[in-house]
Amino acid sequence: MPPIQLDLTVPKSLSAAVEERIRDAIVNAELAFGQALPEDGVGLAMGVSRTPMREALTRLQAQGLVVIVPKKGTFVFDPSPDDVDQLAAFRLMLESEAVRLGLAVAPEAALAGLRAAQGAMEQARRSGDGRAYARADTVFHASFFHHCGNAYLAKAYESIAWQVAALRAHLSVPRLHEQDTSFAEHAAMIGHFAAGEAEALLAILGRHILRSAAVYREAIRVRGA
């Protein structure tokens, strides 16, 4: 007899719910960079008290999404152009390693994840849903880490992935040309991954990441001026 499998939505704690909600708000650009987040502001609006709110903010700080200034308050992170560059460089390092490990450890599983994400991206593109495209983009890159076999590497990526997603949401200029280039690059990466051609893949990945970083840096520079 096959084992019974039931889906059970575990009642997540309030602090976890608040954390997710605020994170969504940040990565979906509902909250502006630098926006203040008083503990009794957002929390009371959701009907929770300051305690779970504080926990949520503490964890969000660990994810780099908010900055807590002692005795002053908590604010949505506000990256400088230099931050964007450093973030991209770090991301490129992590993702390159994840690609190499994934090819060595579980190429089939990783490839399946990549193709699923690509399918979602294609669908989003056809329906013109920019937000869905961005989500699928996030899933695509996360696939490398889900199958790299190193939990620490994956955790490190998690610690910056949300910041990257937030940058995408805040600063992406919805130019169709950009999306075309991006989509083509993803397809090319899948091809190289399937063929086991690590170096060719990494070359595209590097261009891919550094180009988007340049876009974000410019957007921040202009906005800051």
Partner DNA sequence: ATATTGTACCTTGGATACAATAGAAGGATC
Partner DNA sequence: GATCCTTCTATTGTATCCAAGGTACAATAT
Instruction: Kindly list the residues in this chain that would bind DNA in the complex (CB under 7 A).
Output: 11, 13-15, 36-41, 47-52, 54-55, 68, 70-74
- Closer CB to DNA, 36 or 184, in the complex: 36
Q: Residue 68: which of DNA, a copy of itself, none does it interact with, CB under 5 to 8 A by kind? A: DNA
- Could you give the CA distance from residue 33 to residue 78 in angstroms, rounded to a whole number? 5
Q: Residue 50: which of DNA, a copy of itself, none does it interact with, CB under 5 to 8 A by kind? A: DNA
Burial of 196 per CB tally in 10 Å (0-12, 13-18, 19+)? exposed
**Shortest Cβ distance from residue 10 to DNA (Å)?**
8
Q: Could you tell me if residue 34 is left (phi over 0), alpha (psi between -120 and 50 degrees) or otherwise beta?
A: left
- Could you give the CA distance from residue 171 to residue 223 in angstroms, rounded to a whole number? 10
Q: Residue 48: which of a copy of itself, DNA, none does it interact with, CB under 5 to 8 A by kind? A: DNA
- Closer CB to a copy of itself, 110 or 124, in the complex: 110
**Shortest Cβ distance from residue 46 to DNA (Å)?**
9
**Shortest Cβ distance from residue 93 to a copy of itself (Å)?**
5
Q: Phi and psi for 74 in degrees, rounded to 5?
A: -115, 140
**Shortest Cβ distance from residue 56 to a copy of itself (Å)?**
10
Q: DSSP string covering 154-166, please?
A: HHHHHHHHHHHHH
- Closer CB to DNA, 43 or 113, in the complex: 43
- Could you give the CA distance from residue 117 to residue 146 in angstroms, rounded to a whole number? 13
- Could you give the CA distance from residue 114 to residue 196 in angstroms, rounded to a whole number? 14
**Residues at the contact surface with a copy of itself, assessed by CB under 8 A:** 13, 54-55, 58-59, 62, 70, 83, 86-87, 89-90, 93, 97, 149-153, 155-156, 159-160
- Could you give the CA distance from residue 68 to residue 207 in angstroms, rounded to a whole number? 34
H/E element holding 69?
Answer: strand 66-69
**Shortest Cβ distance from residue 35 to DNA (Å)?**
12
**Shortest Cβ distance from residue 174 to DNA (Å)?**
33
Q: Residue 97: which of a copy of itself, DNA, none does it interact with, CB under 5 to 8 A by kind? A: a copy of itself
- Closer CB to a copy of itself, 86 or 123, in the complex: 86
- Could you give the CA distance from residue 197 to residue 190 in angstroms, rounded to a whole number? 10
- Could you give the CA distance from residue 179 to residue 195 in angstroms, rounded to a whole number? 24
